[in-house]
Chains A and B, each alone.
Chain A
Amino acid sequence: MDWRQIGTDVWELEPRDGMLVPARIYASQELFGKAESDRASQQVMNVAHLPGIVSASMAMPDIHWGYGFPIGGVAATDVEDGGVVSPGGVGFDICCGVRLLTSGYRLSDWEARGGQVMDELSRRIPRGLGKGAIADAGLLKAVLERGAAAVLEAGFGTPRDLDRCEERGTSSGADPGHISEKAFRRGRGQLGSLGAGNHFLEVQLVQRVFGEAASRFGLEEGMVCVMIHCGSRGLGHQTCTDQLQTMASAMAKHHISVPDRQLACVPVDSPEGERYLGAMAAAANFAWANRHVLAHEARAAFAVAFQTVPEATEMDLVYDVAHNLAKIETHLIEGHQRKLCVHRKGATRAFGPGHPDLAADLMASGQPVLVPGSMGTASWVLKGVDGNPAFGSAAHGAGRVLSRKKAKARQSGKTVRDDLESAGVAVRPGSVALLSEEAPYAYKDVDAVIEVCSRTTLAEKVARLIPLGVVKG
């Protein structure tokens, strides 16, 4: 294929065969080679067919093969010029994202009580398949309407938490009327649960900080933190499934064709587009609330293990940010402010300093950007910067490099667990067998991904964290 390097760590392919804009990948030579080794780069090209797409179909440095969009895909469509919204640009796990909490504890505290913390977390955090929830199902209706604010009112978390959530933990435009009975039933027993796959709750240590933004975010070297990665669970999966079922006929009505049915889309400014965005926002509200409840429970677990009250744990929210969402945002395109539908499929919103959507105390620094690594390797906190070339987006993780089948064939789950424990990472898996699919060797080097983010002004380094313990589905 005729990809050419147009700048440091930037690769581009001119439009061809129905592409409306170029395809662009932010990656080092090595990471780009990995993107070309499976079908991820083709998926970036496919997304360039979406009606109304502007600038380029983009992919972040952690790009890998997904379904429809690549994982790491970013695409913006012009709402006032027939731009579409595609459920495939959001994914089934609507508003999957990451939340990071500080703590008042240091490594010596962890060495003294880490085992109790892990046991308490393991006991309290529902994970794996299906049911098992912290919060009462009776909250579900309010949660779909108001997200994290609804569970805060029910006694979970603190008011300050909302200040440190993207959209204050409540997606605007939510229409629970478009959440089906099936989706509702799937969500009933899952409010406050991790799920499985690559989702986790990890206890981490701030190994190194870069610049003064770290202290603005409440981070300092040697601090124990908690990172939570999960999404909208069965309710979100069913909502996407439901919406896709009606997309084929809607696409025919709007005379839209796309190279992959999983890229099904409808104009944002159409009844079908409004219906999808209303349902998506309601499912996103479940995800904000879900992470909020899990964080509450993590505070409780630390408090029990350290024989204190949750308030004394100093577990403050650094930030909660989604990486599977479509949002209506205003961006400057060729000198004009345009209303865009920005899809981030496995990409993290990364707004720079002064962005009006940021809380007042983040205006000077820019938005915290949370990038979890693979199990057993580092995770990163970055910050949004001026001049981000990807509609205010950055990477969302390390990015897989080995298929689950190949990862599983390499080592058993028990070996992976033993290796992690030997390396000082306490592991509390829901299923030991599943650990092998999420082993560190199944992922790219997260540090290499972060270097590309930094060199291409997608985001700037703030802190590197290393794992102390992991709770997985």
Chain B
Amino acid sequence: MRYQVLDHTADTGIVAYGVIPTELFENAGWGMFDLMYSLSGLDPVRDVPVMAAGDNLEELLVNWLSELLYHAEVLDLAFCYFTVDRLEEGGVQGSAGGVPSASLDLRGPPIKAVTYHDLAIVENPDTWWARVIFDV
């Protein structure tokens, strides 16, 4: 399972999963866009490099997701493919592939931003999970 939807009264959120942190970041990206569009079966037609900085894993995750939202909005893309190449102290580097957002129907409200409210990243013996709340 890549992610689960969380219940939140006004906004929305996910718990994303990954065997390693890079996969966790990729799946968090998938979960965020899958809330807005049905991503299954989509093939990306355009790739965008995505980089973000941060002082810790939490900041890196929020800033990675925020960068994805930024690129999606200015390029009119719905991202459906995520690759994290490097995740290290101070930075995350990867790419996202997407399709024109105008070609898709929204199935959830557009996400305005990624919040720090209730943010958590937890390492279990065989997996990582992250909880993220979005402003919609």
If A65-B10, A91-B135, A403-B7 touch, does A431 touch B113 (CB 8 Å cutoff)?
no
Nearest CB of chain B from residue A382's CB, rounded to whole Å: 22
If A131-B76, A248-B55, A433-B105 touch, does A406 touch B7 (CB 8 Å cutoff)?
yes
Interface flags, A107-139, vs B, CB<8A=1, else 0: 000000000000000000000111100000000
Report the contact-size class of chain B (Cβ under 8 Å from the partner). 35 or more
Residues of the B chain whose Cβ atoms lie less than 8 Å from the Cβ of A185: 74
Interface flags, A235-274, vs B, CB<8A=1, else 0: 0011011001100110000000000111010000000000
If A403-B9, A405-B5 touch, does A67 touch B109 (CB 8 Å cutoff)?
no
Interface flags, B109-131, vs A, CB<8A=1, else 0: 11011111111000000000000
Q: Is the CB of B70 within 8 A of A262?
A: no
Residues of the A chain whose Cβ atoms lie less than 8 Å from the Cβ of B7: 403, 405-406
Q: Is the CB of A404 within 8 A of B116?
A: no
Q: Is the CB of B105 within 8 A of A431?
A: yes
A310 contacts partner chain B, Cβ-Cβ < 8 Å: no
Q: Is the interface of B mostly helix, strand, loop or mixed?
A: loop
A372 contacts partner chain B, Cβ-Cβ < 8 Å: no
A182 contacts partner chain B, Cβ-Cβ < 8 Å: yes
B22 contacts partner chain A, Cβ-Cβ < 8 Å: no
B63 contacts partner chain A, Cβ-Cβ < 8 Å: yes
CA distance A195 to B8 in the complex (A): 21
CA distance A197 to B112 in the complex (A): 9
A14 contacts partner chain B, Cβ-Cβ < 8 Å: no
Residues of the B chain whose Cβ atoms lie less than 8 Å from the Cβ of A403: 7-9, 12
21 contacts between A and B (CB under 8 A): A66-B10, A67-B11, A67-B115, A68-B115, A128-B106, A129-B110, A182-B70, A234-B73, A237-B135, A241-B114, A262-B115, A264-B116, A403-B9, A404-B12, A405-B7, A430-B106, A433-B105, A433-B106, A433-B107, A434-B107, A473-B110
User: A residues bordering B, Cβ < 8 Å?
Assistant: 38, 40, 64-68, 71, 91-93, 128-131, 182, 185-186, 195-197, 234, 237-238, 240-241, 244-245, 248-249, 260-262, 264, 400-406, 430-431, 433-434, 437, 473
User: B residues bordering A, Cβ < 8 Å?
Assistant: 5, 7-12, 36, 55, 58-59, 63, 66, 69-70, 73-74, 76, 101, 105-110, 112-119, 133, 135-136
